[in-house]
Amino acid sequence: MKLDDRDLVEEFSRSGGRGGQNVQKVETRVVLRHIPTGIRVVAQDERFREANRIQARKRMVRALAEREKKIRLAQAAERSKERSRKARRSWGATRELVEGKRKRAKIKAGRGKWRGEG
């Protein structure tokens, strides 16, 4: 996936953790925001800003790909659900269903007779 620089906002700040005095005085932490989707990723693992920028962009690509995958799966599930909703039972399945209902109705109708209620 290709990122468009116009859709990204980069912010830099000081990061904590390993890196010694460098990370405490230089703004090496990178926060990358994708404006159209609102996805935000942070990279502060590396000691240098450029390395963190590369990490942030890789994470952004992964996050956007994951988002697209979720959207595709949701759409496929919706199509499948719609197909199931529109599907009709076959003639044989309908006959079987009706026969089962008739059997059940006879059982229920016969219940009161042996108790002396009928």
How much is the pLDDT for 86?
A: 86
Residue 104 lies in a domain: no
101: amino acid identity, one letter: K
Residue 17 lies in a domain: yes
Into how many domains does the chain fold?
A: 1
The CATH number of whichever domain residue 48 belongs to comes to 3.30.160.20
Rounded distance, CA 34 to CA 23, Å? 25
Which domain does 76 fall in, by range?
5-87
Residue 52 lies in a domain: yes
**Half-sphere CA count of 29, side-chain side, radius 13 A:** 12
Rounded distance, CA 109 to CA 116, Å? 13
**Alpha carbon separation from 40 to 30, 43, 63, 110 (Å, rounded):** 10, 10, 9, 68
- Reading the chain (118 residues) residue by residue, the pLDDT tens digits are 678 888 999 999 887 766 677 767 888 899 999 999 999 999 988 888 899 999 999 999 999 999 999 999 999 999 999 998 888 889 999 999 999 999 999 988 888 766 555 4
55: amino acid identity, one letter: Q
Residue 35 lies in a domain: yes
Instruction: Find out whether 22 and 28 touch, Cβ atoms under 8 Å.
Output: yes
Residue 94 lies in a domain: no
Residue 13 lies in a domain: yes
Residue 110 lies in a domain: no
Strand, coil or helix: 109: helix
- For residue 58, the surrounding DSSP H or E stretch is helix 49-86
Residue 103 lies in a domain: no
